[in-house]
Amino acid sequence: MAQSKHIDKVLDRHSDETITNNRLRLKTSINAIRWLAFQACAFRGDDESLGSLNRENFIELIKLLASCNQNINNVVLENAPGNAQYISPGVQKDILHIFARKVRAKIREEIGDSKFCIIIDEARDESKREQMSVVLRFVDKHGCVQERFFDLIHVSDTCSLTLKIEISSVLSRHNLDIQNLRGQGYDGASNMRAKEVCYVHQFFSKLTLIVNVVTVSPKRHDQLRVAQANNVANLIANDQIVTGSGLNQIGTLQRAGDTRWGSHLNSVRSLLCMFDATCEILEKSTEEGNFSTRGDASAAYDAITYFEFVFVLHLMRNILEVSHDLCQTLQRKNQDILNALTLVSTTKTLIQRIRESSWEAFIKEVILFCEKHEVEVPDMNALHIPRRGRTRKIVDQISAEHHYRVNLFLAVIDTQLQEFNGRFNDNMVELLTLSSTLDPRDNYKFFSVNKVCELVERFYPGDFSDQEKFHIRMQAQHYELDVLNHAELTNLCTISELCQRLTKTGKSLTYSLIDRLIRLVLTLPILTATTERSFSAMNIVKNRLRNKMEDELLANCLLIYIEKKIAEKFDTDSIIDEFYDMKNRRVPLR
């Protein structure tokens, strides 16, 4: 009997030691996976064998951790049992899946029963698969506005029915009640699609071709910089440009990106600045390059030396410069509704001015540019003939001046104005204007009891009962007098800051209807800038060397990378326990 008890103690001690070693081994793998995911690094490589000098990031990181801690070294890699090394691709995916599931669960917990909105956008990843980004915007229990990246879903197409099915699936899978959905923001993958005006669409296709031909080759890229340096030197020698510290720096052509709004303006500006140098390199490439290069270079040279291309180049620069400040404002995480509305109005006014009174000055500027850079200028009074067209095939007998002024200049500007009116229609402007009555700046000078009631009646009738609609007028009057005399509610600058202070001081309970209205307004999505940022992150996570990532793995890695502030708070032991519960494990972990 005594011998039996002694054996039981030895077995228990052995079992405890085994479990401790197994958990330490798995913990090391979890820490390595967490770090690599946070840095958007690849996990695996081509050769992870024992004889490899570089067993790739994941195993090399485990080796580094083992070299710093003897206890870890004793239980990992070659010192681990063959069936429990925890370094296989399957284990890596399981751990990433657990992290992603916990992040989504935390976001779902933050939302609770609050109202929320979804922000959706689509873009192609490195392997040309269409991906839909889902971002949730809501106000948390502390009164802070949160925009959380929630999922990345592969879609076969971007038609409305497909998006609806996928969005509904995401919401139902995570028990997000569609009755609490209070806003939807959608956008295309690129802000410069402009297929409604074929000339603009063709222009950006040609611009991309020019940039690619010149910059894809390191040799041509260096030649471009040398040519630009020579042009700048000649201009300085002829006193055509001024010199000074930081002036006349030699740059390069900028590529327009799908996820960076300002990149289109930078691309247009860079080509205007380096026009002569670009023409020189393209012309040289048509003579000296290989067969494939000569074809692309010839097409690019024909495009850049065509008057219509130069015309649209200047037109897009003018329009993009006018709208640049508005784009930058709308991309900020903390958007100022009043300033955004002001910029919308001023931007529309400035574009309208270009339409009404800038044609003569504009066409003169384009013609002078073409004469300076030896681009053939058509006779504006002659019949317009498309570059590769014939007179007998032309249905509309119009002059060149009519084509450039009506079909291009006015058509592009009118499309831009229509886009503004579509995105910022009367209802949206009215909603934002009424919402600005809650702005706390300048001691609540914008606050109006009547506008508060009108905001509820016009845009949020379903969120307040008839009794609450009656009561909110009196509550707003109390609120108006109280906030001016409360030290912690003065000197505030944004509605978001006001919401946080109301929660902190307990006034959100006293003025519960006002607080509810503020949260509804803050939930409103203005733009889809957060989804654009998620696509920028996607291009980091799934790059040229990692272009075969599965959709689920990409979504999990992207979620952990973007929401790392949430993921870094998870206790490793909880990850181990969930890992153990996922399936039957051969090795005990508890």
Contact 435, 455 (CB under 8 A): yes
From its phi and psi, is residue 442 left (phi > 0), alpha (psi between -120 and 50) or beta?
A: left
pLDDT (tens digit per residue) in 30-89:
999 999 999 888 888 777 777 777 778 888 898 899 999 899 899 888 888 877 888 888
First to last CA, the chain: 28
Between the alpha carbon of residue 59 and those of residues 36, 90, 439, the distances in Å are: 11, 14, 53
Question: Which residue did the predictor score with more confidence, 462 or 55?
Answer: 462
Assigned domain for 513 exists: yes
Residue where a domain terminates, one of 382, 398, 424: 424
- Which H or E run includes 354? helix 337-357
**Do 194 and 300 share a domain, yes or no?**
yes
Q: Which residues contact 546 (CB under 8 A, 6 or more apart)?
A: 42, 126
How far apart CA 37 and CA 55 sit, in angstroms, is 18
How far apart CA 84 and CA 538 sit, in angstroms, is 32
Assigned domain for 590 exists: no
In terms of DSSP H, where are the helices of 460-528? Answer: 466-483, 495-505, 507-510, 512-523
**Do 162 and 59 share a domain, yes or no?**
no
Residue 564, domain extent: 107-189+529-571
3-state DSSP call for residue 116? strand
Assigned domain for 347 exists: yes
Question: Which residue did the predictor score with more confidence, 15 or 268?
Answer: 268
Confidence of residue 457 (pLDDT cuts 50, 70, 90): very high
Total tally of structural domains belonging to the chain: 5
pLDDT of residue 334: 59
Contact 316, 200 (CB under 8 A): yes
**Do 179 and 259 share a domain, yes or no?**
no
pLDDT of residue 239: 59
Tokens of 414: 């009118």
Confidence of residue 4 (pLDDT cuts 50, 70, 90): very low
How far apart CA 154 and CA 271 sit, in angstroms, is 35
Assigned domain for 65 exists: yes
pLDDT (tens digit per residue) in 333-363:
555 666 777 888 899 999 999 999 899 999 9
DSSP-assigned states of every residue in 179-216: GGEEEEEEE-S-TT--TTSHHHHHHHHHHHHHHHHHHS
pLDDT (tens digit per residue) in 523-536:
887 665 666 677 77
Q: Where are the beta strands (DSSP E) in 288-371?
A: none
- Return the half-sphere exposure (C-beta side, CA atoms, 13 A cut-off) of residue 10: 6
Assigned domain for 495 exists: yes
In this predicted structure, the answer to whether residue 478 has a pLDDT above a threshold of 90 is yes
**Do 238 and 277 share a domain, yes or no?**
yes
In one letter, which amino acid is 129?
R
Contact 43, 57 (CB under 8 A): yes
Q: For residue 399, give the DSSP letter.
A: B
**Do 519 and 537 share a domain, yes or no?**
no
% of residues, the chain, pLDDT over 90: 29
**Do 406 and 442 share a domain, yes or no?**
no
**Do 387 and 445 share a domain, yes or no?**
no
pLDDT of residue 329: 77
pLDDT (tens digit per residue) in 234-293:
766 665 665 554 444 566 777 666 545 567 888 888 888 888 888 888 888 888 767 777
Assigned domain for 99 exists: no
Four-CA torsion 285, 289, 290, 291, nearest 10 degrees: 30
DSSP-assigned states of every residue in 292-315: HHHHHHHHHHHHHTSHHHHHHHHH
**Do 66 and 115 share a domain, yes or no?**
no
Tokens of 130: 């269409």
Neighbour order of strands in the sheet with 116-124: 145-154, 130-139, 116-124, 181-187
pLDDT of residue 498: 92
**Do 233 and 274 share a domain, yes or no?**
yes
**Do 178 and 207 share a domain, yes or no?**
no
Assigned domain for 55 exists: yes
| Rounded (5°) CA angle 147-152-155 | 130
Assigned domain for 269 exists: yes
pLDDT (tens digit per residue) in 198-222:
667 677 788 888 888 887 777 777 7
How far apart CA 173 and CA 98 sit, in angstroms, is 16
Contacts 24+ apart (CB under 8 A), 371-378: 373/275, 373/276, 373/279, 373/310, 375/305, 375/306, 375/307, 375/310, 376/305, 376/307, 377/307, 378/307
**Do 136 and 219 share a domain, yes or no?**
no
- Which H or E run includes 511? none
Residue where a domain terminates, one of 23, 53, 87: 87
Instruction: Please provide the size of the chain in residues.
Output: 590
What's 138's domain CATH number? 3.30.420
How far apart CA 62 and CA 77 sit, in angstroms, is 8
Between the alpha carbon of residue 226 and those of residues 32, 277, 404, the distances in Å are: 45, 8, 35
**Do 59 and 121 share a domain, yes or no?**
no
Question: Which residue did the predictor score with more confidence, 1 or 102?
Answer: 102
3-state helix, strand, coil in the chain (%, to 5): 65, 5, 30
Tokens of 326: 């508005």
Confidence of residue 189 (pLDDT cuts 50, 70, 90): very low
pLDDT of residue 42: 84
